[in-house]
């Protein structure tokens, strides 16, 4: 069974299993959340949620090249 919850950062109902991932990134003071999960985070790629930028691994690495 999948439980859904509303998260103020997502603004929509998301599977509750994904909310702790974002909350942990925020609590840790992370600047980025690197994920390949396009189904649940794809619409937020390149955006900041509560100060955490959501990016794919490829995009993140491309921005870090010397």
The span from the CA of 43 to the CA of 45, in Å, is: 6
Number of domains in the chain: 1
**Among 36, 40, 39, which residue's Cα sits nearest to residue 55?**
36
Q: What is the CA radius of gyration of the chain?
A: 12
Task: Count CA atoms within 13 Å of residue 20 on its CB side.
Answer: 3
Residue-wise pLDDT for 31-41, tens only, equals 999 999 888 78
Express each pLDDT in 12-52 by its tens digit.
Answer: 555 556 778 888 888 899 999 999 988 878 888 999 988 99
- The predicted model scores a pTM of 0.73
For residue 54, which of 38, 40, 39, 41 has the smallest C-alpha distance? 41
């Amino acid at each position: 069974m999948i439980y859904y919850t509303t998260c103020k950062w997502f603004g929509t109902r998301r599977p509750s299993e994904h909310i702790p991932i974002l909350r942990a990134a925020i609590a840790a003071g992370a600047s980025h959340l690197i994920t390949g999960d396009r189904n649940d985070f794809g619409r937020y790629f390149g955006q900041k949620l509560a100060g955490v930028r959501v990016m794919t691994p490829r995009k993140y690495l491309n921005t870090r090249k010397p």
